[in-house]
Structure 1
Amino acid sequence: MRVLGIETSCDETSAAVLADGRLRSNVVASQVDLHARYGGVVPELASRRHLERLGPVIDEALTSAGAG
């Protein structure tokens, strides 16, 4: 069985693929540079960046795991 895990809390967008209980890929897109200039996380900017990065992060995780 393959499992795709997705995480978009706070300032990171990530996706991981597990197959038969083993980690096959883990991709993380950080927003640290985006929020650093504001001295902390700006929720509106974070949500927009999640929308921009989620598709590419999932694609990369699936490809890296040989599932995409």
Structure 2
Amino acid sequence: MIAIETSCDETSVAIFNDKLEVLSSVVASQFKWHERFGGVVPEVAARAHMELLNKSILQALQDANMPVSQISAVAVHNGPGLAGALLVGLSAAKMIALGLNVPLIAVNHVHSHI
């Protein structure tokens, strides 16, 4: 399974095996993107996710030594969060799930902490 999280200002991708053990986890910080503004700018966050997400996905797969064909499901954060940032992650997750014909699992951030 691949999991994607893009709710705010960090691009995160993790790869899990069938026992839900973490095989890899990649977190790309956007600190440098937002530092000059003194805080997170939603449009900047969305654009940074667009630049960082594909690289993060490829890095996570490489770190896990997992070919794309072995992805059995796609989990993605669907809220709450910054609308533009969420759309980047949701779009990528939907494309992966559709392309591989695997389940798409929407995960609410609040529920993920329970």
Do both share a fold (TM > 0.5)?
Answer: yes
2:37 counterpart SS class: coil
Cα distance in 2 for partners of 1:44, 1:23 equals 31
Stretches of 4+ moved more than 3 A in 1? none
Provide structure 2 residue ranges, at least 5 long, that are not aligned to the other structure: 68-114
Contact 2:33 2:48 in 1 (8 A): no
- State the match for 1:47 in structure 2: 46
Residues 19-62 of structure 1, C-alpha deviation per residue, up to 9 Å, x if partnerless?
02210000000001211110110111110010011100000000
- State the match for 2:10 in structure 1: 12
TM-score by length of 2: 0.56
Number of residue-to-residue matches in the alignment: 66
TM-score by length of 1: 0.92
Provide structure 1 residue ranges, at least 5 long, that are not aligned to the other structure: none
RMSD of aligned Cα (Å): 0.8
Q: Which structure dedicates a bigger proportion of its chain to helix?
A: 2
